[in-house]
Homo-oligomer: A and B are copies of this chain.
Amino acid sequence: MTNQLIENKSLEKVLEVVKEKEIDRVFLVACGGSSALMYSSKYILDRDSTTMTTEVYSSNEFIYRNPATLNKNSLVILCSHLGKTPETTEAAKFAKSKGALTVSFTYIDDSPLAKESDLVIGYEYGPGIDPAESRNILIIQLTLGLLKVKESSKKYDKLVASLPNLKAVCDKAIEYYAQDALDFADKYKDEKMIYTMASGSNYGVAYTFAICILMEMQWINSHAIHAGEFFHGPFEILDKDTPFILLLGLDETRYMEERALKFTKEYGEKLIILDAKDLDFKGIDKEIRGEIASVVLLYVLRAFSRKLADVRNHPLEKRRYMFKVPY
């Protein structure tokens, strides 16, 4: 694989390259929020692929764990928004040294990560963009595309046909929860600890809200609890004073999220419930709503985070360590 392909930012073009390569392992490698957005891709591949097995690793865990099955038949998908997360760039180098094909999502064309990757997929970013052009959707599109070129899955085409309608779905979802977002900010602005909870393809959204929004951007203690694990330890922490954000998606693990909701409703009082079933997914093919719901929930939660930051007078951009001190 030569570096000339770096210039190629078309997802369809990436799929052409992938199609010609033997792949039995997919490694999803990134850090923090960039890692969290890959969880739904693992969910999709776990459920649907009979020929490829999938791992999600934080970049340095990937390097130091040094998986014995990482080799020339591996596809390594990486992500770093600015493309300068050192451990993710190192992970791309490491993967290439093992003969793997590396495909990176990054916003910056000539970033260190882009330079170390065989193929790069760009995306749109910032307020007002079409979610269909965001990395959150493009990685799902790549995943379903992989399943199309390798295992003739029909979901890729269904996704592509649905994408023109996604922005309206997200906009309506944010509107539907607008008052809840205000209430959330007002009611929970002084909380020291807010838990999040989800399962399946939505767990990554719970994780990113816990570690990136609450801990990183608001300095509020948090922990993303898996809705199934909840009943095997964490639920003992629940009382009427402990805030929980519960996500209910549309995938096959929804039973776990509903079970956790029932219990938290019985013994808790500070509950913020986001349920994709209450949202209007018009124009999104029914067969891919489970895959898409996590992204819609993330858009809604981002609106929640903006209200929270406003009311707390703690801008989402405020940091004490990140990019400010050596680490």
Contact = CB atoms under 8 A, between A and B. Distances in A.
A53 B26 CA distance: 11
A228 B193 contact: no
Given A211-B234, A267-B321, A47 B59 contact: no
Contact of A215 (B53, B217, B236): B236
B46 A65 contact: yes
Give the bracket for the number of chain A residues in contact with chain B: 35 or more
A49 interface: yes
B215 A33 contact: no
Interface in A180-227: 192-193, 199-200, 210-212, 215-217, 219-223, 226
A84 to B, nearest CB: 13
B234 A64 contact: no
17 contacts: A31-B228, A31-B232, A32-B229, A32-B233, A34-B232, A46-B55, A46-B69, A50-B69, A60-B255, A61-B228, A64-B253, A192-B193, A215-B234, A215-B236, A216-B233, A219-B236, A236-B321
A134 to B, nearest CB: 19
Max count, chain B CB within 10 A of own CB: residue among A66, A221, A238, A263: A221
A315 to B, nearest CB: 13
B211 A193 contact: no
A31 B256 CA distance: 13
Interface string A295-316: 0000000000000000000000
Contacts of A104: none
A164 interface: no
A291 B327 CA distance: 28
Interface of A: 25, 31-35, 43, 46-50, 53, 55, 58-61, 64-69, 85, 87, 192-193, 199-200, 210-212, 215-217, 219-223, 226, 228-229, 231-238, 242, 252-253, 255-256, 259, 263, 267, 319-322, 327
Query: When A and B form their complex, which 7 residue pairs have the shortest distance between CB atoms, in order from nearest?
Result: A32-B232, A223-B223, A211-B233, A216-B233, A31-B232, A60-B228, A64-B253
A49 B31 contact: no
Contacts of A53: 25, 53, 69
A46 B70 CA distance: 10
A242 B200 CA distance: 31
A234 B211 CA distance: 5
Contacts of A322: 235-236
Given A68-B46, A200-B64, A263-B327, A237 B223 contact: no
Given A32-B233, A46-B67, 16 more contacts: A31-B229, A33-B232, A35-B232, A46-B68, A58-B226, A59-B228, A60-B256, A64-B256, A65-B253, A192-B192, A193-B221, A219-B236, A221-B237, A236-B320, A236-B322, A263-B321
